[in-house]
Amino acid sequence: MIFRPLKPAFGLLLYFGLQNLASAATCSCAGVPLLASIDTSAKEKGQLFITYNAENHQISDLVSGSKDVPDETDRDRHSFSQVLSASYAMTDRWSVSALVSYVRHSRDIGSSFLGKTTSSGVGDSVLLLRYTPVFITPFSRHEVSLGLGSRIPTGDDDYTDVFVLSEDMQPSTGAFGGILWTSYSYAFNQAATLQFNTSANYTYNGVNDREYRFGHEFNFAMGLGHSIGTRFSYSAAFRYRSTKPDRRSGFEIPNTGGKWVDFIPAVSYAVTDKLRLGLSGRIPVTRNLDGVLQFTTSYAYAFSASYAF
């Protein structure tokens, strides 16, 4: 607040300084783990799951193609996102999931306060309808699920800090998106304590009011999950993510888009029959990013709590 009177004076300096950095290295952040948060779904008729997920996402690795590049700007960029989701099973096969997010982006460049930018607010929401024609039971080892949904721009996409912030710093994308989602699980034993899980989703991003379109995104994850007793479980998965470059007014934005492979370990513990707590991480394995330079994920970790009604 004490810097507010200084904003006009430093505005242009800050703006042109950041513009130079931004054109040199934009950020492919995938800042908010919306679809990851929607993995906990209600599976039996009448079941309702409420899940809270908080993720801290550090986005300070500077990468050229697939090579790490020393960052001499002393830059620190991270996002903290909170996602509240609800999943309700209308029948044993049909369920609907909805989530809302609250996002805080922060970017520090150098040691001066001039380089500090933050934004926060309600982010995007998601509505997903799922159909599960095959599910794991004591008599079936397979589960297949299909989903169709929409990402809804429920938050601001014109957050201003002297100037309107760049799109990757906005709480919301400002555009609707279409989501296709599918998953398959195989239980190695009748008790389904050891499972192979795979899922894939594709998000088609629309154009926002500022003619900006985030690159369409494809995710594919596969891994193993193991339960010990009725309370403790852990999993390990690899996730491949690919995004097209962002576009403004139809023109490609340089230094956006790319391909990533992350390792995602997770543990969870059922405190009671209804309440389950979880921790997960996201560790980059390899990446090949478009353009000359991009800041991208250094690591992320998340806490989740889900309650079954």
Partner 1 sequence: MLFKSLIAAWLAVHLMQSVHAQEAAPTFSGTTLNTGQPIDLEGLKGKVVLVDFWASWCPPCLASLPAYNKIRQEIGTSDFEIIAINVDEDIEDGLKFLEKHPVDYPVLADPDGQIGIPYGIRNLPRSFLLDRDGRIIATYKSFKAGDEVKLQQEITALLEQ
For binding to partner 1 (CB under 8 A), which residues are involved?
Answer: 43-45, 92-93, 133-142, 144, 189-191, 193, 229-230, 273
Q: Least separation, in Å, of the C-beta of 192 and partner 1?
A: 9
Q: Least separation, in Å, of the C-beta of 142 and partner 1?
A: 4
In this complex, which beta carbon is closest to partner 1, that of residue 5 or of residue 133?
A: 133
Q: Least separation, in Å, of the C-beta of 92 and partner 1?
A: 6
Q: Least separation, in Å, of the C-beta of 183 and partner 1?
A: 14
- In the numeric block, which tokens belong to residue 275? 């309440």
Q: Least separation, in Å, of the C-beta of 242 and partner 1?
A: 26
SS (H, E, C) 135-172: CCECCECEEEEEEEEEEECCCCCCCEECEECCHHHCCC
In this complex, which beta carbon is closest to partner 1, that of residue 83 or of residue 187?
A: 187
Residue 266, CA atoms < 13 Å, CB-side half-sphere: 28
- Between CA 296 and CA 230 the distance in angstroms is 38
In this complex, which beta carbon is closest to partner 1, that of residue 137 or of residue 286?
A: 137
**Three-class SS state of 5:** helix
- Full strand arrangement of the beta sheet holding 294-296: 26-27, 294-296, 61-64, 67-68
Q: Least separation, in Å, of the C-beta of 269 and partner 1?
A: 15
- Between CA 247 and CA 251 the distance in angstroms is 5
Residue 167, CA atoms < 13 Å, CB-side half-sphere: 23
- In the numeric block, which tokens belong to residue 250? 């139809």
CA separation (Å) from 106 to 4, 76, 81, 145, 246?
A: 18, 8, 11, 36, 21
Residue 303, CA atoms < 13 Å, CB-side half-sphere: 4
In this complex, which beta carbon is closest to partner 1, that of residue 193 or of residue 242?
A: 193
Determine phi and psi for 112, rounding to 5 degrees.
-80, 150
Q: Least separation, in Å, of the C-beta of 149 and partner 1?
A: 23
Residue 163, CA atoms < 13 Å, CB-side half-sphere: 14
In this complex, which beta carbon is closest to partner 1, that of residue 14 or of residue 187?
A: 187
